[in-house]
A and B are shown apart, each in its own frame.
Chain A
Amino acid sequence: MRRIVSLILENEAGSLSRVVGLFAQRNYNIESLTVAVTEDPTLSRLTLTTNASDTQIEQITKQLNKLIEVVKLVDLTEGDHVERELMLIKIKASGAQRAEVKRTVDIFRGQIVDVMPNSYLVQLIGTSEKLDAFLRAIAEGTILETVRSGVTGLGRGDKILSL
């Protein structure tokens, strides 16, 4: 099952490598990873997605919690949450195709952020499924380049992950 694990960790040199190293060392997989400093500059927030059974995710979270730099941790998929991923995609768009690409971008509520004579640079934000669906909706052979930020998210409601 797909899991989204969100961690608050010390914003120190080497702490990210401990998290990533743990996954390699213990034969867990990381499907996506995103990390940046928080409003408190001593802390970073890291979100990763992984595929794991209930018993596996229990081990993963326990092992992550053992890392000295990991301050707090939550498996967002355990409860209601909002998840988002950002994708930038460069699409071939010339001639009659140009209008069709624009329409598809509008349907997915994407934004064209750069315009070239023969291509568009599109920005799309949503769940990973939505980004996948957009890629399927674009005509084959017209995708020039893509980059995805990896999943990030927050729990819904009053519950917060903080010190």
Chain B
Amino acid sequence: MTEPVGENQDPELEQLSGAELLIRSLQEEGVEYLFGYPGGAVLHIYDALFKQNQIKHFLVRHEQAATHMADGYARSTGSTGTVLVTSGPGATNAITGIATAYMDSIPMVVISGQVQSHLIGTDSFQETDMVGISRPIVKHSFLVRQASEIPVVIKKAFYLASSGRPGPVVVDIPKDITNPLELFPFEYPEQVAIRSYSPSSRGHTGQIKKALQLLLKAERPMIYFGGGVIQGNATEGLIEVARKLGYPVTSTLMGLGGYPGTDPQFLGMLGMHGTLEANSAMHNCDVLIAAGARFDDRVTNTVAKFCPYAKIIQIDIDPASIAKNVAVDIPIVGPVDTVLEEFSRMLENSDAQRTPQQKEAVSDWWVQIENWRKQNCLKVNRSPDSSIIKPQEAVQALFKVTKGDAFVTSDVGQHQMFAALYYPFDLPRRWINSGGLGTMGFGFPAAMGVQVAHPDATVACITGEGSIQMNIQELSTCSQYGLPVKIINLNNGSLGMVKQWQDMQYEGRHSHSYMDSLPDFKQLVESYGHVGFSVSKVEQLEDVLAEAFSLKDRLVFVDILVDPDEHVYPMHVAPNGAMRDMWLAKGVRT
């Protein structure tokens, strides 16, 4: 073997164009799928993509859907989702999806084309300052200035997106950088170091010990976890700690599935539409341990009245999430999985003993919790002589038909809350929704991304007639790639959550929350070559769903006409309410 003459003349190294450097780097990074849409600024890249078979590209019908597909892929697998869009409108169309991923800490790399370097800043055709526009909604971003930087930038982008608190990273590449006529040696770095970035790899043992002592003395303990448990793969640790302690567990919207939803220790979701037992236990607890949860305003209700009796322990990988909204007594900065595993190990030690008095207090606490639970706050009220479908029943029927074993994505609104409350998830990464940004139009393309990652799995998108129309053009993408997702449309003919608030806070003035020009969804999906069902009678609900899910290799759209007057309960009393202050039904509150 001859000695390389110099780094740039190494005869062993392949000579590639910028576009090829990018595609090769993505291959080295293990990218299986790209979700994207071509355009002028990325034509060189698309040409390089054409000449290879390793990465499969999915052509969407709108760039927002590409980001949500990548997001669904990422949430259901834990891998980083990868997006390729062109400059200008391609880039701006991707923004909503990037913001969605940012708010929920989803690993994503978005490659956007940019106009040629010498045209930047001249208001040239399809130019937009993508790095500038995306700045507040990315973990980091790069504007590539030289083709030779591409491998290192891609390595850094994937490292940043997936490590620490994950998030989206934008890589903006001017067209001239990908010129097929200029060749550069390709060498993919094995690792990259970023001197200002070193996410914590474990929690502080002293803090964990202190927290454990507090937990062991708790008389009314509560375990509260969020999406960090899912993104941080901490489910096992959480289950171990919860089982060893025997303490009650509640989850945020984002955490559902991080602890088995059908387990008796699980009190259901907490927060604005949380269960009576979860929210009441939160309010009354004396020690609260928060794992990978960020005390969002949709959880806490009025912060000043939040958990008035509790000492609070908070575990989070992101120091900025700790004590951001609520003062914390014992902060633990670290990955939720390793911290919970350390808790679990310490619980085996002989000094981790609980006194008989403490155990008795906790068993009294459980008696209290069971009293709340007995009120059955999720009971569906239906009159026996009506065959109208309650939206909750539609979700329950879906659970039955799919045996609780589907990937379920949702859009945003009433149907999202019904899905979260009435479809218990026993496994992580099965429940996929836009919790932070609350993006209508997320559910369907996210379901497509899940289906790409899990071709044989049952994937259902619970949506409403409002949300589904925000990305309905993707029916076409599903035809092209044969993605057999099942769309469960809870159709109440109005923007249900907006209408609910208007009923409760605006004396029923339904300002622009109705839709009186809906398409015939059955005909619509059939025109794309899919299967459509419509059902309006509760007696037929299960049969229709069963038939829909029996069509394994077809996209089926089930339009379920549900009771248009149904509200989501429980619901926090606001403003100025505490965790325990809830509406339990129309006109009925705690």
A residues whose Cβ falls under 8 Å from a Cβ of B: 9-10, 13-14, 17-18, 21, 25, 55, 58-59, 62-63, 65-66, 68-72, 163
Contact = CB atoms under 8 A, between A and B. Distances in A.
Contacts of B319: 62, 65
Contact of A68 (B136, B140, B323, B324): B140
B195 interface: yes
A59 B324 contact: yes
Interface in B320-344: 320, 323-324
Contact of B197 (A25, A68, A72): A68
A66 B318 contact: yes
Given A13-B143, A14-B131, A21-B135, A70 B196 contact: yes
Binding site of B, secondary structure by majority: helix, strand, loop or mixed?
mixed
Contact of B135 (A18, A63, A163): A18
Nearest to B165: A66
Nearest to A68: B140
15 contacts: A9-B196, A10-B196, A13-B143, A17-B135, A18-B135, A21-B135, A55-B323, A59-B324, A63-B320, A65-B319, A65-B320, A66-B318, A68-B139, A68-B140, A68-B160
Contacts of A9: 196
B193 interface: no
Give the 6 A-B residue pairs with the shortest CB-CB distance, closest first.
A62-B320, A71-B196, A25-B136, A68-B140, A62-B319, A21-B135
B181 interface: no
B588 interface: no
Contacts of B139: 68
Given A68-B196, A72-B196, 9 more contacts: A10-B196, A14-B131, A14-B141, A55-B323, A58-B323, A63-B320, A68-B139, A68-B160, A71-B195
A59 B325 CA distance: 10
B587 interface: no
B5 interface: no
B194 interface: yes
* Contact-residue size bin, chain B (C-beta under 8 Å from the other chain): 10 to 19
B195 A163 contact: yes
Nearest to A55: B323
A72 B319 CA distance: 15
B132 interface: yes
Nearest to B160: A68
Given A68-B196, A70-B196, A14 B143 contact: yes
A58 to B, nearest CB: 7
Interface of B: 131-132, 135-136, 139-141, 143, 160, 194-197, 318-320, 323-324
Nearest to A72: B196
Contacts of A163: 195
B567 to A, nearest CB: 33
B136 A66 contact: no
A9 B160 CA distance: 18
Given A59-B324, A66-B320, A17 B132 contact: yes
Contacts of B132: 17
Nearest to A18: B135
Given A17-B135, A21-B136, A68-B140, A59 B320 contact: yes
A57 B194 CA distance: 25
Contacts of A65: 319-320
B365 to A, nearest CB: 31
A68 B139 CA distance: 8
A87 to B, nearest CB: 32
A44 to B, nearest CB: 12
Max count, chain B CB within 10 A of own CB: residue among A14, A18, A66:
A66
A25 B323 CA distance: 19
A26 to B, nearest CB: 9
Nearest to A9: B196
Nearest to A62: B320
Residue of B141, B196, B318, B323 with most partner-chain A CB within 10 A: B196
A32 to B, nearest CB: 22
A13 B392 CA distance: 52
A140 B320 CA distance: 47
A21 B160 CA distance: 20
Contacts of A17: 132, 135
A116 B99 CA distance: 56
Contacts of A25: 136
Nearest to A71: B196
Nearest to B194: A68
A14 B120 CA distance: 14
Of the listed residues A18, A65, A163, the one surrounded by the most CB atoms of chain B closer than 10 A to its CB is A18
A28 B197 CA distance: 23
A149 B132 CA distance: 26
A73 B196 CA distance: 11
B196 A69 contact: yes
B266 to A, nearest CB: 32
A3 to B, nearest CB: 17
A63 B319 CA distance: 9
Contacts of B194: 68
Nearest to A42: B195
Contacts of A71: 195-196
A25 to B, nearest CB: 5
Contacts of A55: 323
Contacts of B318: 66
A59 B322 CA distance: 9
Contacts of A58: 323
B145 to A, nearest CB: 8
B115 to A, nearest CB: 17
Nearest to A13: B143
Contacts of A10: 196
A14 to B, nearest CB: 6
B118 to A, nearest CB: 16
A13 B196 CA distance: 16
A117 B197 CA distance: 56
Nearest to A63: B320
B152 to A, nearest CB: 14
Nearest to A70: B196
B303 to A, nearest CB: 12
B314 to A, nearest CB: 13
Nearest to B324: A59
A66 B198 CA distance: 10
A65 to B, nearest CB: 7
Contacts of A14: 131, 141, 143
- Residue from B143, B194, B320 with most neighbouring chain A CB atoms (10 Å): B320
B131 to A, nearest CB: 6
B112 to A, nearest CB: 15
